[in-house]
Structure 1
């Protein structure tokens, strides 16, 4: 029977361990995850079941200069990537304010305050509130909040979405005049209902 020297075995395995690292980011999502919001957790896939999380948003309308408070309700979680986006876009929109303990800001879409992510794997709860400010210009008609939420390294949900938040008619940050015809507004609302955003 062959006898393996532990030092020799380690010497043979070390290069393979270094060449094939296991990726995980216990101190926050990398900027490379901003667009697809997928954690780089080697050997894992997002959960296919409906996410046990939902958003609690302080207002159904946003207005530039007015903060919007966002909470993620559900069981405690350890990992997070949170963004505001225009409907149909993957670019982070607006600015997150100083986030609560155990989380931090992440530069996304060239914006140093474009997203919020975890800063450690301590538990976060629905009591944690994240504050978002709309941009001063270029506001779309509606925005949604989108998150990836991880209970653990292996158990996480992507594409967790809020209901749409409409731009207030008093907002001065719109990309176009908010005065649409009734027919245009009705068609847009119907589309959002059919897609499950309202």
Structure 2
């Protein structure tokens, strides 16, 4: 009888281990996924087909201090890792505001509000809206929103991108250095003219 109970316990453990996804993160992406945006789904590769998701972005340009709203259009999804990036960079830019239900912040690039990920595997829909704020300084000329979207543990797409949004000409983030240099250069030219060197 004791051997039967031991076999039953061992068999139950093996069955549960096979049914529970190993190496998955149902409560959100780990910080190690920030750069390559690949979920740790052991033995499961991303889909090679075109993603059925696209972004709806509230503005074609960004201005520091002005929020941008983003929605992911397409089928419902369970998992997510969402960042804003400049062209050719893996650094998470700007700050996400209060994440919607079933999502949370993920610290990426040293920024505690640099990314948003799922907090559970509840369904998220196209009505789920994410709000992003541009950085206060060091703004690039263009920004793209990049995501990994998981329909299920086995089916997910990486490198889902929005169209680029441009830095608004009125944006002051990143413009501080040129405005300090310009008056100094103008002053030097004026002095040279006054002393007859030009």
TM-score exceeds 0.5: yes
- Partner of 1:25, secondary structure, is coil
In structure 1, what is the equivalent of residue 95 of structure 2?
Answer: 95
Unpaired runs of at least 5, structure 1: 178-198
User: Any gaps of 5 or more consecutive residues in structure 2?
Assistant: 179-198
CA distance in 2 between counterparts of 1:6 and 1:88 reads 58
Does structure 2 retain, via aligned residues, the 8 Å contact 1:141–1:174?
Answer: no
Secondary structure of residue in 2 paired with 1:131: strand
Which digits, 9 at most, give the CA deviation of each residue in 1:69-93, with x for residues without a partner? 0000000000000000011100100
Say whether the 8 Å CA contact 1:96–1:131 is kept in structure 2.
Answer: yes
Alpha-carbon distance, 1:109 to partner = 0.4
* SS state at 1:88 partner: coil
Q: Is the 8 A contact 1:63 1:168 kept in 2?
A: yes
Give 1:43 shift: 1.5
In the other structure, the counterpart of 1:71 is 71
Q: How does 1:42-191 map to 2 (within 5 A)?
A: 42-174=42-174
Q: Distance between the aligned counterparts of 1:12 and 1:156, measured in 2?
A: 31
> Is the contact made by 1:148 and 1:156 (CA closer than 8 Å) also made in structure 2?
yes
Name the CA distance, whole Å, in 1 between partners of 2:99 and 2:47: 26
Question: C-alpha separation between the residues in 2 aligned to 1:138 and 1:59?
Answer: 20
Structure with a larger share of its residues in helix: 2
Give the CA deviation at 1:14. Answer: 6.7
Aligned residue in 1 for 2:31: 31
TM-score of the superposed pair, with normalisation by structure 1: 0.80
Aligned twin of 1:7 = 6
Paired positions, count: 171
CA distance in 2, matches of 1:11, 1:54: 46
Answer with 1 or 2: which has the greater Rg. 2
TM-score norm. by structure 2 comes to 0.80
